[in-house]
Structure 1
Amino acid sequence: MEKSTQIYGIRAVIEAINANEPIDKVFIQKGLKGDLSRELETLLRKNGIIASYVPIEKLNRLTKNNHQGVVANISPIRFLSIEEMVANVTENGKAPLFLLLDQLSDVRNFGAIIRTAECTGVDGIIIQKRGAAPVTADTIKTSAGAAFRVPIAKVDHIKDAVFFLQASGIQVVAATEKTDNTIYDVSFTSPTAIIMGSEDMGISPSILKASDHLAKLPMLGSIGSLNVSVACGVFLYEVVRQRQDTLSK
């Protein structure tokens, strides 16, 4: 059952953090003062929870209730650490398949990607704490419930996740048009993580540079790109195809 995704009031948010609720993001009124607000900010830093400082008008739009200058979103799912996610998969002895989303911002694209990830055997999805699409009711609906089945990890920076995965023996393949290599030039049979970029900017240049391989989809029409969730599906099913071929030999 999906739980409420919003709480408001300084004390309520503090209690939720202390109760280890999966806080996704906190909105704090700019210039908020007082002992409780300082206690909240200390807890946020300690727990690595992202806070946005916004005008009171923003908070008034988020809720009609007495928010006391603070509104928080609670994710309907619990997030893993990347260390826990990778350990859980590698202990199974299979060649893992991970998906990294670099600044993907649309919740429906996120939901569609999660749904495809579940259908293609993705072992986990990694997103960045700041700037990534949240897991909302729309995400859950668009994923057809797959968000409850595919582990999701949050990291401070996608680039750090790339380095961690590489150190764990996992090749990192970036989906980008800025290469001559297509997905058919890359072997996905070994442990792999695929990076998909944001809807408007693609993958950050520094992350492209850190990746092991760059790969693009061959485009035969006049439109130069696909929707990111569609492109992600093509990449993932190429992994499925290659791994099925390997298993059948």
Structure 2
Amino acid sequence: MSELIYGIHAVQILLNSNPDRFLYIYISKGSLNKRLRLLCQQSKQFNIPVQYCDRVFLNKKVKCAAHQGVVAEINTRCSFQEKDMLCLLQARNRKDLLLLILDSVTDPRNMGACLRCAVAFGVDLVIVPRHRSVGLTAVVRKVSAGLADSVPFVRVVNLARTLILLQKYNVWIVGTVLASKKSIFQANLAVRLGLVMGSEGIGIRCSTKKYCDELVNIPMVSELTSLNVSVATGICLFEILRQRAYM
């Protein structure tokens, strides 16, 4: 199976890290700027076929998304499944294990931004429910600046059951909710940790919330009721990194 990625940065990052996944690269005839010329040169080094075409063809390929003159067809990398998670955990059996658990994040732009944060702050695994969640789409990859494949992405059937399993592996589950009276700055995050973030609309579902070991909030000085999930994720992951710098 194959899928499409687009945008100069997303294609460049994957080309640098995993050129074997490329099947074809399509480049707009009238868009050969310096960065696209570099992509062409690298593609030839890896023997990746390059096809020059007009922008109408590229627009149809990606349904008029902002492709910046380049679209690539790549081999699909399957998401990890529930059965793979134990092996991934055992391979990362460290006291500073960090998991990002995204509950009901269905917007691909939010997911892409969350994955970019995950890579920036050293997350070991990203876990999402198979349903009520967006997968690794072309939009997710573009918004993540090509970093979506840099962190294992695990899709599970039952998120509540997964949290119970993680707790058996000594992972402390911290959920973020507006109603909590405890600030994230008061929590001890320098442990084997699973951070649960919910969508901006509904937050963490009740079925997920009740299996969290601890619930915290992000303190705000205004009357704003919520933050975009990717912004909130970045704040929480930074606080985790800050605390662990003193371990």
Aligning the two structures, in what range does the TM-score lie when normalised by the shorter sequence?
A: 0.5 to 0.7
Following superposition of structure 1 onto structure 2, how do residues 146-225 of structure 1 map, counting pairs within 5 Å? Answer: 146-225=147-226
Structure 2: stretches of 5+ with no match in the other structure:
5-62, 64-73
Q: Is the 8 A contact 1:105 1:199 kept in 2?
A: no
Report the Cα offset of residue 244 of structure 1.
0.7
Report the Cα offset of residue 165 of structure 1.
0.6
Label 1:135 to 1:93 Cα distance change in 2 as closer, same or farther (>3 A): closer
Q: Deviations over 1:109-161 (max 9, x none)?
A: 00000000001000011111112112211100000111111100111121111
Q: Is the 8 A contact 1:75 1:136 kept in 2?
A: no
Q: Deviations over 1:5-52 (max 9, x none)?
A: 6xxxxxxxxxxxxxxxxxxxxxxxxxxxxxxxxxxxxxxxxxxxxxxx
Report the Cα offset of residue 87 of structure 1.
3.1
Residue matched to 2:100: 99
Higher relative contact order (Cα pairs below 8 Å, separated by 6+ residues): 2
The whole-number CA distance in structure 2 between the counterparts of 1:190 and 1:152 is 21
The whole-number CA distance in structure 2 between the counterparts of 1:236 and 1:87 is 24
The whole-number CA distance in structure 2 between the counterparts of 1:172 and 1:96 is 12
Residue matched to 2:84: 84
The whole-number CA distance in structure 1 between the counterparts of 2:135 and 2:117 is 18
Residue matched to 1:231: 232
Q: Is the 8 A contact 1:101 1:127 kept in 2?
A: yes
Report the Cα offset of residue 86 of structure 1.
4.3
Q: Deviations over 1:197-229 (max 9, x none)?
A: 122100111211111000100010121211110
Q: Is the 8 A contact 2:180 2:216 kept in 1?
A: yes
Report the Cα offset of residue 194 of structure 1.
0.6
The whole-number CA distance in structure 2 between the counterparts of 1:86 and 1:188 is 22
Following superposition of structure 1 onto structure 2, how do residues 123-138 of structure 1 map, counting pairs within 5 Å? Answer: 123-138=124-139
Q: TM-score scaled by structure 2?
A: 0.67
Determine if the alignment matches structure 1 residue 4 to structure 2 residue 8. no
Where has structure 1 moved over 4 Å in runs of 4 or more?
Answer: none
The whole-number CA distance in structure 2 between the counterparts of 1:98 and 1:75 is 26
Q: Is the 8 A contact 2:92 2:124 kept in 1?
A: no
Label 1:245 to 1:128 Cα distance change in 2 as closer, same or farther (>3 A): same
Letter in 2 for 1:167: K
Q: Is the 8 A contact 1:98 1:126 kept in 2?
A: yes
Q: Is the 8 A contact 1:82 1:126 kept in 2?
A: no
Higher mean C-alpha displacement, 84-93 vs 184-193: 84-93
Determine if the alignment matches structure 1 residue 242 to structure 2 residue 231. no
Q: Is the 8 A contact 1:115 1:147 kept in 2?
A: yes
